[in-house]
Amino acid sequence: MGRVFAISLEGKIYSCKHCGTHLALTDDIISKNFHSRHGKAYLFNRVVNVSLGEKEERVMMTGSHVVADIFCVKCGSVVGWKYETAQEKAQKYKEGKSVLERFKLCGPDGSWINHIVGSDGDD
């Protein structure tokens, strides 16, 4: 595999807590009302510097969705998932959007969440 050329973002940035690679801007957050195994998760309109895993159907709290895990392109950490398709009409707005798990990110102020759910410094 060759050298990774990551996109650098300007502004308030969320980055991978393992390697610091830029992943998303705060301006691209659609919702902070998502949850994952590790606590809070944010729905983003746009994320960068990620690669997609295999598509699979998952039953989530809001119904059945086809999703693909997303990985940091630099360190390979799973940082969230991308919604490919949603079965329910009310959930179609998620298609093409990505969820990043807050536990796996450094926030815009450089902080990262610990194991205590609700300890976000940037909420």
C-alpha 72: how far from chain center: 10
pTM assigned to the model: 0.85
How far, in Å, CA of 69 to CA of 100, rounded? 10
Residue predicted with more confidence, 120 or 89: 89
Query: What is the structure's pLDDT at 4?
Result: 67
pLDDT, tens digit, 9 for 90 and up, residues 5-37 = 789 999 999 999 999 999 999 999 999 999 988
Per domain, the residue ranges of the chain are 13-106
- Measured over all CA atoms, what is the biggest interatomic distance in the chain, rounded to whole angstroms? 42
Q: Within 10 A of 88 (CB to CB), how many other CB atoms are there? A: 11
| CATH of the domain spanning 13-106, picked from 2.170.150.20, 3.40.50.300, 3.40.47.10, 3.40.1410.10 | 2.170.150.20
